[in-house]
Amino acid sequence: MSDPTPATLLPSWRPGATRDALLAFLDAAADLPVVDRVAYFDNDGTLWCEKPLYVQLAFLVDALTRRTAQDPSLAEREEFAAVLSGDMAKIAELGLVRVALALAELFEGGSPEDFAAEARDYLGRHPGRVYRPMLELIDELRRRDFTVGIVTGGGTEFVRAISEDLYGVPPQLVVGTLIDYEFARDEHGRPVLQRTAAVLGHANEGEPKVVNIQSQIGRRPILAAGNSSGDKEMLEWAAAGPGPTLALLVDHDDAEREYAYASEGATTANDEAITDVAARLGWTVASMARDWETVF
């Protein structure tokens, strides 16, 4: 295979300062030991579209709807009633974490394999809308011997169910919010794992994204990409490393081809808009409207 020339690299990225910054980073990283070439991408809103609803939330709504058809009493629970009626204001009032953990109870006692199968089944029916420019960047990083991982504020095992197929990322490189398991035995005395509805460690948004990447991966990324205030600390952490680094913020400013909105993060609030943080700290901003020739 012949190497692409700079002119043919990242074809869905329009010529300009952002694409130049990506190419300059790729060149600078070529001098680093392979062990240091680690890149982490947030998933929702960075690799795939998170509107009108987070894909993982839509999956949980789908699961709740099907279970409620079998057991209507589920609809009486406050968190579930808000979800079933699509009352986003009520969900926000209850808190997305509380609602998500209530929904996690739908899978309590199940095996990791059953959960992965249900996630894959859902995504087979409702495929995620992945950003082509980001896929090109991932492919190019991997071609340059980067370890490319995914970070998510949502559940780890959900993203793992699709990360290999969608992004070529193996399950051990997905860092998200872990739902704890219970070790149990089946009727033959053989070990099985059963999902609980409790978070193991730190829910993965904001500062915990930094703690969890180090804890699970054991290295600091030199490239971090995100789109919301929940990614702020992770991008700062990557940018503060020695040697070449890249903090990349996806700006949703394209109402025509995608959505135009200020990304707030699922569970963190921040007084400063993330695009203002990016400008203040000198991050590289990928404007969907300006920098992407193709979105999907």
Per CB under 8 A, residues contacting its own copies are 35, 112, 147, 149, 156-157, 160, 164, 170-174, 178, 180-183, 190-193, 200-202, 207-208, 210-211, 214-220, 233, 236-237, 240
Strand partners, 139: none
* Distance of closest approach, residue 183 Cβ to its own copies, in angstroms: 4
* Distance of closest approach, residue 275 Cβ to its own copies, in angstroms: 19
Q: Which residue has the tokens 């990557």?
A: 238
Residue 6 or 170: the one with the smaller Cβ distance to its own copies is: 170
Q: Helix H segments across the chain?
A: 17-29, 55-70, 78-84, 88-94, 96-104, 112-125, 132-143, 156-167, 207-217, 232-239, 274-281, 288-291
Structure token pair of residue 12: 């869905």
Helix/strand/coil (H/E/C) assignment for every residue in 23-86:
HHHHHHHCCCCHHHCEEEEECECCCECCCCCCHHHHHHHHHHHHHHHHCHHHHHCHHHHHHHCC
* Distance of closest approach, residue 152 Cβ to its own copies, in angstroms: 13
Residue 74 or 192: the one with the smaller Cβ distance to its own copies is: 192
* Distance of closest approach, residue 203 Cβ to its own copies, in angstroms: 13
CA–CA separation, 182 and 178 (whole Å): 13
- The answer to whether 105 touches 155, Cβ cutoff 8 Å, is no
Residue 112 or 226: the one with the smaller Cβ distance to its own copies is: 112
Phi, psi dihedrals of residue 142, rounded to the nearest 5°: -65, -35
Distance from the Cα of residue 106 to its chain's centroid: 22
* Distance of closest approach, residue 23 Cβ to its own copies, in angstroms: 26
* Distance of closest approach, residue 188 Cβ to its own copies, in angstroms: 9
Residue 45 or 155: the one with the smaller Cβ distance to its own copies is: 155
Residue 23 or 116: the one with the smaller Cβ distance to its own copies is: 116
Residue 52 or 218: the one with the smaller Cβ distance to its own copies is: 218
* Distance of closest approach, residue 13 Cβ to its own copies, in angstroms: 28
* Distance of closest approach, residue 252 Cβ to its own copies, in angstroms: 24
The neighbour count for residue 11, using CB atoms within 10 Å, is 13
Residue 196 or 287: the one with the smaller Cβ distance to its own copies is: 196
Residue 103 or 159: the one with the smaller Cβ distance to its own copies is: 159
- The answer to whether 129 touches 154, Cβ cutoff 8 Å, is no
Q: What angle do CA 67, 68, 69 make, to 5 degrees?
A: 90
